[in-house]
Chains A and B, each alone.
Chain A
Amino acid sequence: MSEKQVTRRNFLYVTTGAFAAAGAASLAWPFVDQMNPDASVKALASTEIDLRPIIPGQSITVMWRGKPVFIRRRTQAEIDEAKKVNLADLPHPEEDSDRAQNPEWLVMVGICTHLGCVPLGQKGDYNGWFCPCHGSHYDTSGRIRKGPAPTNLEIPDYVFLNETTIKIG
């Protein structure tokens, strides 16, 4: 056979191989995707909460998508403390006003952004939250101030349905 000549057989070889590879890949996807959150898990994606029983300085923890969500009715002192922080001092700079739609209500996922533990409230060096697992300190706006966590506590999507009810998710 002459050197490097593309024959009909080469063509059949490559196309057959390509079809087999594409077929295998598309068949592999269901085996991978079956592990992703299923329909029943996604169906639990929103929660409504009545805020009336919570007085200033009190927090509640609700479950949303299997995760704890902290809802804290902040005191004026906490709000002031969160507002006066210099953004340049923050590892993950965010304004308090971007984190709380209504400054009185702080709603955030109660999961440390380091490795997923639940931080303890009103503890730590910044009067906010403290994660006992690896020592991350969050402030009164749930922003990371000290420790290994890379980002601030996550703010879930939520809306105030009316003055006293919010819907998370």
Chain B
Amino acid sequence: MSENYAPKSAVGRWFNDRLPLLNLIYGHLLPYPTPKNLNYWWTFGGILTFCLVTQIITGLVLAMHYVADADLAFASVEHIMRDVNYGWLLRYIHANGASLFFMAVYIHMARSLFYGSYKEPRELIWIIGVFIFLLMIATAFMGYVLPWGQMSFWGATVITNLFSAIPLVGESVTNWLWGGYAVGSPLLTRFFTLHYLMPFLIFALVILHVWALHVPGNNNPEGINVVQGSQDTVPFHPHYVVKDMFALVIFLVVFAGFVFFVPNLLGHTDNYIEANPLQTPEHIVPEWYFLPFYAILRSVPDKLGGVILMVSAIAILAFLPWLDTSKVRSAKYRPLYRQFVWLFFANVILLGYLGAQTADGLFLIIGRIATAYYFAHFIIILPLLGYIEKTKPLPKSLSEPVLSPEERQMKAAASGASA
């Protein structure tokens, strides 16, 4: 698709002959054949790229004013909010950008689950995606520690203490992470360093993610294979460039709504109190996007067990392509999976709600049931469904489901005549 591209200008040709970078970009962004029926759930890949670039740019300029030292960090963030020109805007974009990044990534993952995008031949795209998600979690967590407020400090304390659950070497590992005997300045400085590094690692993985995607091409709402370059595909530009741009504008409206009207809605007021190692806030909650995993952690009465289960909740995603035994991708043609996948989404939202509540009484019991169901979905329901579910017949092309019965007959007659 890209071999035939020749830059129009002499300079472009001179450059491209020596380094075919333009060829590469052209092939992946312009004529790249894309299924013609992609819906708006497919626009989140582009939105996520936008989020990543936004976080990198705003983060870069925030780092010019921020000081990663336990005595100065909180004041430097207030300095950004009050003194630095447009500092409030840059910080609110960065903080809310993280939340919207996660909102978009959860929708992107849910899309994959619903339409079976993780299945053969796209397993590796999915697995790279799981690694991107892991890096996002680490980056967001470390970023939340940087303002050095009460939630930053105690969030860092609780999460780094998870490593103390490791048998035998737990304590040495946590002291190594802290660079001391408690959370303090050394930890803050190294978190800042890693928080700065990780987005670039994410960027590298995004390139691999897109590269791997462009080998088999996009999945689509019907979940059937389409032949690249057939009547079922359209060039990425202008069709999906425009569709992605439109979706991005809608997304930006939501983004701006948060930044300009409710910039602290998703944050926690305790984080505007400077970190105090002597006083734990009454109610520690992580950022909203970690709540489902936090609920899983708390549902286990055992320290090590809770940590193992929480890590497994994410790690199990990497095995999804093999846990789901059904050959049919899209939930549209899987009457049972379609119901179970919605139940799964509802269960994750329930876990998120429980993660924000105090872990006792009824909440704890429901949390345990929801945790059990989360894992049952992957290790019991998905493997079994492939064997017991009677799937609906798949269409032969992307056009078939949208044709009227007459058109379908005409098409059948035409193909019969030609055969």
Question: Is the contact region of chain B dominated by helix, strand, or loop, or is it mixed?
Answer: loop
Q: Whose C-beta in chain A lies nearest to the C-beta of B177?
A: A35
Of B158, B184, B279, B301, the contact of A116 (CB 8 Å cutoff): B158
Chain B: CB-nearest residue to A120: B280
| B154-189 vs A, Cβ < 8 Å mask (1 yes, 0 no) | 100110111010000000000111111111101000
Residue of A nearest to B184 (CB): A66
Q: Which of B289-317 contact A (CB under 8 A)?
A: 298, 300-304, 306
Chain A-chain B contacts (Cβ-Cβ < 8 Å), number? 86
Q: Is B135 an interface residue (CB 8 A)?
A: no
B157 contacts across to A, CB distance below 8 A: 115-117
Query: Is the Cβ of A68 less than 8 Å from the Cβ of B278?
Result: yes
Contact across chains for B179 and A67 when beta carbons are under 8 A apart? no
A17 CB–B CB distance under 8 Å: no
Residue from the list A36, A41, A135 in contact with B176, Cβ < 8 A: A36
B175-212 contacts to A (CB < 8 Å): 175-184, 186, 190
Cα distance A68–B277 in the bound complex, in angstroms: 7
For window 39-74 of A, CB contacts with B under 8 Å fall at: 41, 61, 63, 65-68
Q: How far is the CB of A122 from chain B (nearest CB, A)?
A: 15
B284 adjacent to chain A (CB < 8 Å)? yes
Complex contacts, A67 vs chain B, CB 8 Å? 181-182, 277
Tell me how far the C-beta of B252 lies from the nearest C-beta in chain A, rounded to whole angstroms: 37
Shortest distance in angstroms between B354's beta carbon and chain A's nearest beta carbon? 13
Whole-angstrom distance between the Cβ of A68 and the nearest chain B Cβ: 5
Given the complex, which residues of A lie within 8 Å of B178, measured CB to CB?
37
For A131, what are the chain B residues with a Cβ–Cβ distance below 8 Å? Answer: 280
Q: Is A167's CB within 8 Å of the partner chain B?
A: no
Q: Which of A32, A61, A135, A150 contacts B278 (CB 8 A)?
A: A61
CA distance A140 to B164 in the complex (A): 25
In the complex the two chains form, is B277's CB within 8 Å of A116's CB? no
Complex formed: what's the CA distance from A114 to B301 in Å? Answer: 10
Shortest B116–chain A CB gap in Å is 37
Minimum CB–CB distance for A66 against chain B, Å: 4
- Counting CB contacts under 8 A, is A148 at the interface? yes
What residues of chain A lie closer than 8 Å to B303, measured between beta carbons? 114-115, 148-150
B341 interface residue (CB < 8 Å to A) = no
Determine the residue in chain A with the shortest Cβ distance to B181: A65
Question: Assuming the A-B contacts A66-B181, A68-B277, are A132 and B283 also in contact, with contact meaning beta carbons closer than 8 angstroms in the complex?
Answer: yes
Known: A35-B190, A115-B161. A135 touches B360 (CB 8 A): yes
Q: Which residues of B contact A118 (CB under 8 A)?
A: 277-280
Report whether A66 and B306 are in contact in the complex, using a CB–CB cutoff of 8 Å: no
- Kindly list chain A residues whose C-beta atoms are within 8 Å of the C-beta of B336: none
- Cβ–Cβ < 8 Å partners of B358 in chain A: 135
Q: Are A37 and B279 also in contact (CB < 8 A) when A148-B302, A150-B302 are?
A: no
Q: Is A38 an interface residue (CB 8 A)?
A: yes
- The docked-state distance in angstroms from the alpha carbon of A135 to that of B178 is 25
Enumerate chain A residues within 8 angstroms of B301, measured Cβ to Cβ: 148
Does the CB pair A117–B180 fall under 8 Å? no
Question: CB distance B175 to A37 under 8 Å?
Answer: yes
A115 contacts which chain B residues (CB < 8 A)? 157-158, 161-162, 303
> Is B52 in contact with chain A by the CB < 8 A criterion?
no
B145 to chain A, nearest CB (A): 14
Task: Tell me if A92 counts as interface (CB < 8 A to partner B).
Answer: no
Q: Which residues of A contact B186 (CB under 8 A)?
A: 35, 37-38, 41
Name which residue of chain B comes closest to A148, CB basis: B301
Residue of A nearest to B307 (CB): A115
8 Å CB contact of B282 from A35, A36, A63, A132:
A132
Does B359 have its Cβ within 8 Å of any Cβ on chain A? yes
Q: Which of the residues B181, B281, B302, B304 comes within 8 Å of A37, measured between beta carbons? A: B181
Task: Say how far A134's CB is from chain B's closest CB, in angstroms.
Answer: 6
Cβ of B190 and Cβ of A41 under 8 Å apart?
A: no
Residues in A whose Cβ lies below 8 Å from that of B298: 134, 148
Is residue A133 within 8 Å, beta carbon to beta carbon, of the partner chain? yes
Assembled-state Cα–Cα distance A36/B173 (Å): 9
Q: Would you call B359 and A117 a contact (CB within 8 A)?
A: no
Indicate if the CB atoms of B175 and A36 lie closer than 8 Å.
yes
- Binary CB contact string for chain A from 102 to 134 against chain B (1 if under 8 A, 0 otherwise): 000000000100111110000000000001111
Shortest beta-carbon distance from B329 to chain A in Å: 40
B280 touches A38 (CB 8 A): no
B277 surroundings in chain A (CB, below 8 A): 63, 66-68, 118
A41/B180 contact (C-beta < 8 A), A68-B277, A118-B279, A148-B303 known: yes
Shortest distance in angstroms between B337's beta carbon and chain A's nearest beta carbon?
Answer: 35
Q: Which residues of B contact A35 (CB under 8 A)?
A: 176-177, 179, 186, 190
A residues lining the B interface (CB < 8 Å): 32, 35-38, 41, 61, 63, 65-68, 111, 114-118, 131-135, 148-150
Task: Give the 5 A-B residue pairs with the shortest CB-CB distance, closest first.
Answer: A66-B182, A65-B181, A116-B161, A117-B280, A115-B158
Sampled A-B contacts (6; CB under 8 Å): A35-B179, A35-B190, A66-B180, A133-B154, A148-B306, A149-B303
